[in-house]
Amino acid sequence: MSKVDILELLREHPFTHALNEEWLQKLASAGSIRVFQAGEFLLREGRVVEAFYLIVSGYASVELYMPERGVLRLQTLGPGDVAGWSWTTPPYKSTFDVRAVDEVTTVALNSERLREIMKEDCALGARILLRLLSVVAQRLNATRLQLVDMYASGGER
pLDDT of the chain, 157 residues: tens digit per residue: 566 699 999 999 999 999 999 999 999 999 999 999 999 999 999 999 999 999 999 999 999 888 888 898 889 999 999 999 899 999 999 999 999 999 999 999 999 999 999 999 999 999 999 999 999 898 888 777 777 766 777 655 4
What is the per-residue pLDDT for 3?
Answer: 67
What is the per-residue pLDDT for 157?
Answer: 47
Q: Answer positive or negative: Cα dihedral of 127, 34, 75, 78.
A: positive
What is the per-residue pLDDT for 141?
Answer: 85
pTM above 0.75, yes or no: yes
Q: Using H for helix, E for strand and C for coil, what is the string for the chain?
A: CCHHHHHHHHHHCCCCCCCCHHHHHHHHCCEEEEEECCCCEEECCCCECCEEEEEEECCEEEEEEECCCEEEEEEEECCCCEECHHHHCCCCECCCEEEECCCEEEEEEEHHHHHHHHHHCHHHHHHHHHHHHHHHHHHHHHHHHHHHHHHHCCCCC
What is the per-residue pLDDT for 150?
Answer: 65
CA distance 20 to 141: 30
- From the CA atom positions of the chain, what is the Rg in Å? 16
Q: Which CATH architecture has domain 3-152?
A: Sandwich (2.60)
What is the per-residue pLDDT for 94?
Answer: 95
Of the candidates 2, 30, 1, 3, the residue with the CA atom closest to the CA atom of residue 124: 30
What is the per-residue pLDDT for 69?
Answer: 84
Task: Evaluate whether 55 touches 61 at the Cβ level (below 8 Å).
Answer: no
